[in-house]
Structure 1
Amino acid sequence: MKRKSFLKTSAIAVAGALVAPLTSCTPTPKIKTMRTNWAGNYTYKAENLHQPKTVEEVQALVKKLGQQKALGSCHCFNDIADSPLNQISTANLNQVVAIDEKAKTVTVEAGARYGQFAQELDQKGYALHNLASLPHISVAGACATATHGSGVTNGNLATAVSAIEMVTPSGELINLSRKNNSTEFAGAVVGLGALGIVTKVTLDLQDTFQVRQDLFQDLPLQSLQDNFEAIMSSGYSVSLFTDWQKKLVSQIWVKRKVDAETKDLGADFYGAKAATKNLHPITSLSAENCTDQMGVPGPWYERLPHFKMGFTPSSGKELQAEYFVPRENAVEAILALEKKGDLIYPQLMISEIRSIAADDFWMSPAYQRDCVAIHFTWKQHTKEVTALLPMIEAELAPFQVRPHWGKLFTMAPQVLHERYPKYGDFIKLVKQFDPEGKLRNAYLDLNIYES
C-alpha cells in the first residue's frame, strides 16, 4: 500500500468514431527477459513475451503459437497470467474505439486502463458506474478477474460489460454480447483468461456525476456491529479500513453522489470522528497521491478511486489477498477475523472492507449473492503471509467464502469448485473454446481444470 514513487500517465483522447486499425499483420518480435508482476512478488516463467499492435497480429500469434496467455497490466499477485511458453501482452491495444451515444456505451481495446479514458468520458457527459481503488488497471484484466469497487447497489467492474471481442485459441475473432449470446456471455466475461484473448470490451455508460468523499476515524467495533447495514449504505461507495487492533475501524471513506439534497454528515458518524485533513488508508503515510477528500465535490473519476488518476504506482512492495462472503454474514465474518487480529497484525499493512452487489457471471465471487469483500494488503513477507492464509480461510469457511481470483489464496480446488454453482458449465465452455488446452497454465490446472 505504500506508494511513494508515482509516474504520470497521459490520457487517451476519446474518439467519436471507430479508430482505423493499423494494416500490418506481421507478428512482433518475441522478447526474452526476466519479468515480474507490478508488485515484484512473482517472476513470470513464460519464455517469450509477444507485443502485438493490432487485432490482426493477435490473431496471427494465437493461431501460430502453442501454449499462451494474455498479459494485461501485471496487477495480479499470482500466476493466473503466466504461461509455460508465451505471453501475449495487450499493452499496445489501448485505444478508445468508439462511443455509441444511442446505445450509451463505450468500446475500448482490451489493454486500455481506466485512468486513461475516464476523464474524456466525463468531458463528453458520461461516467462508468464504478471504479477500483487503483485506476491504472486494464479493462479486460479487471473484468476477467471480477475486480471491483464498493457500494451496496454497485456490481463489480465486469457488470458494466455489454459485449466482448475475443480471439479464440484457433485464431477466430468472435463477439459475445449480453443481448445476443446470453449463456456464453455469462461464462466468458469473468473468464479467468481461459477461453481466449480478449481484444475489445464494450462498457455501459451513464450520465456523468459529481462525488464528495467524507472520512471518519476510529469507529468502535461495537458500533460497526450494531449499525453495519446503515454504515455500508450511507454512501454510493463506502470503504472501511482496519488493522484489526484495539476494537476499532481506523477509517471510513464515504463517497456520495452530489445533488441539491446532499448534506454534511457532521462531526460524529456512528461514534467515529470526522477527519480534519486528507488521509492515506494507512494513516501514517502521506495522502499526497490520494483523491481529494474533506467533502470537496469532484467528478466521479477523481473520487471513486482512492488514488489519483494522474499517477500510476511504479511498483508496490506488498502482497494482497481478498475474500468474499455473503453480505448477510459480513458482521460474523469480521468478528471472527477480529479475534485473530494479533496474528494478522504483524504482517499487515491495512485491510479494507467493501460491498459488492450480486451479478450473474458464472465465475464471479459475487455470483447471485450480495457480498462483502475483506481485503488484506500485506507486507511483502511471502513465507509468513502464506502461512496465515489457511487460518483466515478456515475462519471464513462457515460463510462459503470465495477468494479473489487475481490475489493470493490457498483454498483447495475441490472447495473452490463447490462454491460456484455454475462451475460445471464453465468447464464445459472452456473445453468448447479451447479443446487443445492452448490457454492452460499452472494456475488453471490447479484451480479450475478437474484433475
Structure 2
Amino acid sequence: MKRKEFIKTTATFAAATALTPLTSCKTETKKVVDEVAPEVVRKNWAGNYAYRAKNLHEPKTVEEVQALVKNLDVQKALGSCHCFNNIADSPLNQISTKNLKGVIGIDEENMTVKVGAGTKYGEFAPELHKKGYAVHNLASLPHISVAGACATATHGSGVNNGNLPSSVSALELVNGKGEIVRLKRGDDRFDGAVVNLGALGIVTEMTLHIQKTFEVRQDVFQDLLLESLKENFDAILAGGYSVSLFTDWLDQKVSQVWVKRRMDEEVKDLGNEYYGAKAATRNLHPITELSAVNCTDQMGVPGPWYDRLPHFKMGFTPSSGEELQSEFFVPREKALEAILALEKKREQIHPQLFITEIRTIAADNLWMSPCYNKDCVAIHFTWKQNPKEVGELITMIEKELEPFGYMPHWGKLFSMDPLKISERYERFDDFLALAKNFDPQGKFRNDYLNRNIYQL
C-alpha cells in the first residue's frame, strides 16, 4: 500500500470526528420491546467493550465507598473508561471514582499535591500551574484519571522521565474488608500497591510529587529517514525533555518527530532540520492529513507544561474514540532492533493502522510496572476498529517481539500467555500475595485478574 492509498482510508474515517468532545464512558439505550424497560448498555471510551457489570455505583465520599465495599459482593473500581480491555469490569458491580475528585491540598514543604482518585490530570493541572507547580510528565491525553492511569502504569515520554505512577508518594485505598489503608513511599507494600491493576481495592486519594512550574516549547519535524533513525536512535530520543516518534511504517520513514523541551533549561534553536527530518511549517496532528486544531500548540511557541506535554488539548479528544489500541514495552537497549523487526512486517501492519507512536520511559521500582528496574521504549499502535484483523496482528506482533522480552500495556489489547506474564514480572509472586492479603474474599477479582494474575 502506497502513502496515497493509506491517506485516503485513514482520513475518511477520522476527519469528520476530529473535534468530538470527550465524554469518557459511553451509554447506549436499546429499544423498548413490548413495554419492557429499555436496557442500558455502558461502554468504554472507544466503544469496543461493553461492560457486563449490572450495577454502577457513584459514591461521593470515602465513607460511601467503604459502605459499598462492605455490603456488595463482587465489585470493581471504574475510572475514566480509557482502557481497551476488561480490566475495569465486574460480573455485578462497578464503583465509579468520578465524584472523588479535585485538589485536596498542596504540601509546599514536602513538594506534593494530594488529589481525589477520580481527578483527571487535565482538571487539576491548570490549578497546580497557577500556584507555581507542576508534575513531572503527562500522557498524550490529559483526560485520564490519576488512579486509573497509575493502576495501569500509563506514561508519557522522555529518557529521564518515569511513568506517571513513578511520581506517586502516597495513596489511600479501601481494601476488601472495607478498611482504609494508607501507604507512603518507603513502606514495605508501597511499591506493590501503586501499579495495582485494581486488585487491591478502591483507591480514593493519591499524593504526587511536584516541582516548580515550567514552560515547554514543542517543535515538530517531518519525514525522518529510517537510515537516520538507525544511525542516531539514542540521540534522537534524547533530544528533548520528551520526544515522540510517529510512523505509519510506510516509505522507510518516520512520519513525524515531536520534540518537547523545557524553557528553564538551555534551549537552542534546532533550526530547519532534526537528524535530516525537516521542520514542520504548521501545527500538525500525529496523522499528518488530519486537522491539528485539537492538538497542543507547536512551532516552538512556549506554553505551560500541562498544555505542551500532552499531544491533545483537554477540551477535545483526538477522534470519536472509535479505535483500538495496543502497546508493547521493550528494554531500551533492544528497542531499535525490535522496531526494525516490526518494520519488516509493515505490509501486514499498516492496512489496519492509524498511527504508531514510539516513546521512552525511565526505569522505576514499582513491582507491576513494565519498566521495573529497566529503561524502556514503548511501541504503541492505534488501530482501526476491526477486532478480528487487529487481534491477528497483535498475535503476530507479540511473536515478533518475543526475542526482545516485551511487556504489554495493562490497559490495552494483548494476547500474552498468563504464565509468561508471571515469568516476566520479577515481583509477580509478591504482588499476588499482596492482592490476596488486601482482598481475602476476592471481592475485586474479575475475568481479567483471574486470567492474568490469579491464572485460573
TM range (shorter): over 0.9
TM-score where L is the length of structure 1: 0.93
TM-score, length-scaled by structure 2 = 0.92
Alignment match, 1:5: 19
Q: Which residue matches 1:21?
A: none
After superposition, the C-alpha distances for 1:19-73 in whole angstroms (9 at most, x for unaligned) are xxxxxxxxxxxx9731000000000000110010111000000010000000000
Structure 1 contact 32–49 (Cα < 8 Å) conserved: no
1:276 corresponds to: 281
Q: Distance in 1 between matches of 2:265 and 2:408?
A: 40
Name 1:400's counterpart in structure 2. 405
Q: Distance in 2 between matches of 1:385 and 1:312?
A: 22
Would you say 1:40 and 2:47 are equivalent positions?
yes
1:314 deviates by: 7.9
Match of 2:89?
Answer: 82
SS at match of 1:198: strand
Name the structure 2 match of 1:13. Answer: none
User: Which residue, out of 367, 371, 376, partners 1:371?
Assistant: 376
Paired position in structure 2 for 1:245:
250
8 A Cα contact 2:294 2:317, kept in partner: no
Native 8 Å contact 1:241 1:250 kept in 2: yes
Unaligned runs of 5+ in 1: 10-30
Q: Identify the residue that residue 65 of structure 1 maps to in structure 2.
A: 72
Instruction: Give how far 1:174 is off.
Output: 1.1
Q: Pairwise mapping of residues 16-27 of structure 1 onto structure 2 (< 5 A)? A: none
- The one-letter amino acid of 1:395's match is E
Residue of structure 2 in register with 1:299 after alignment? 304
Aligned 8 A contact 2:312 2:318 in 1: no
The AA in structure 1 aligned to 2:125 is: A
> Which of 252, 255, 263 does residue 260 from structure 2 map onto?
255
Instruction: Measure, in 2, the Cα distance between the counterparts of 1:154 and 1:260.
Output: 15
Question: Is the 8 Å Cα contact of residues 32 and 48 (structure 1) preserved in structure 2?
Answer: no
Superposed CA RMSD: 1.4
Matched-pair contact (CA < 8 Å) for 2:138–2:156: yes
Q: Which residue of 1 aligns with 2:315?
A: 310
Give the C-alpha shift of residue 416 in structure 1.
1.0
Q: In terms of mean alpha carbon deviation, does 148-157 or 98-107 score higher?
A: 98-107
Does residue 1:339 correspond to 2:353, yes or no? no
Residues 95-134 of structure 1 correspond to what in structure 2 (within 5 A)?
95-134=102-141
Q: Give the match for residue 384 of structure 1.
A: 389
Q: Which residue matches 2:415?
A: 410
| Cα offsets for 1:75-128 (capped at 9, x unmatched) | 000000000010000011112111111111110000000000101111110000
The alpha-carbon distance between structure 1 residues 337 and 314, as it changes in their structure 2 partners (threshold 3 A), is closer
**Which digits, 9 at most, give the CA deviation of each residue in 1:232-263, with x for residues without a partner?**
00000000000111110000000000147311
State the percentage of identical aligned residues. Answer: 68
Q: Does 1:52 align with 2:59?
A: yes
Counterpart for residue 178 of structure 2: 171
User: Hey, what's the Cα distance between the residues in 2 that align with 1:152 and 1:224?
Assistant: 16
Amino acid at match of 1:67: V
Deviation at 1:8, TM superposition (A): 7.7
Aligned partner of residue 60 in structure 1, secondary structure: helix
Task: Tell me the alpha carbon deviations over residues 327-372 of structure 1, each in whole angstroms, 9 at most, x when there is no partner.
Answer: 0001000000000000000000000000000000100010110000
| CA deviation after TM superposition for structure 1 residue 269, in Å | 1.0
Matched, 1:328 2:342: no
Aligned-partner SS, 2:189 = helix
The CA distance in 2 between the partners of 1:8 and 1:435, in whole Å, is 37
2:18 and 2:317 in contact (8 A); partners too? no
The one-letter code of the counterpart of 2:292 is A
CA distance in 2, matches of 1:312, 1:223: 32
Q: Distance in 1 between matches of 2:151 and 2:266?
A: 37
Question: For 1:285, which of 290, 311, 320 is the aligned residue?
Answer: 290
SS at match of 2:84: coil
Matched residues in 1 for 2:155 and 2:391: separation? 24
> Given that residues 40 and 315 in structure 1 are in contact (C-alpha distance below 8 angstroms), is that contact kept between their aligned partners in structure 2?
no
Aligned twin of 2:435:
430
Query: Does the 8 Å CA contact 1:325/1:402 hold for their aligned counterparts?
Result: yes
- On the 8 A contact 2:294/2:318 being kept in 1, the answer is no
* 1:143-154 equivalent positions in 2, closer than 5 A: 143-154=150-161
Letter in 1 for 2:105: A
Structure 2 unaligned spans of 5+? 1-12, 24-37
- SS of alignment partner, residue 288 of structure 2: coil
Counterpart Cα distance in 1 of 2:330 and 2:435? 26
Cα distance in 1 for partners of 2:181, 2:285 equals 43
For 1:389, give the aligned amino acid.
I
Question: How far apart are residue 5 of structure 1 and its match?
Answer: 3.4
CA contact (8 A) 1:38 1:314 kept: no
Aligned equivalents of 2:189 and 2:455: distance in 1? 20
State the distance in 2 between where 1:315 and 1:272 align.
30
Q: Which amino acid aligns with 1:218?
A: D
Partners of 1:131 and 1:260 in 2: CA distance? 19
Partner Cα separation in structure 1 for residue 141 and residue 350 of structure 2: 23
| In structure 1, C-alpha distance between the alignment counterparts of 2:234 and 2:319, rounded to whole Å | 37
How many pairs does the alignment contain?
Answer: 428
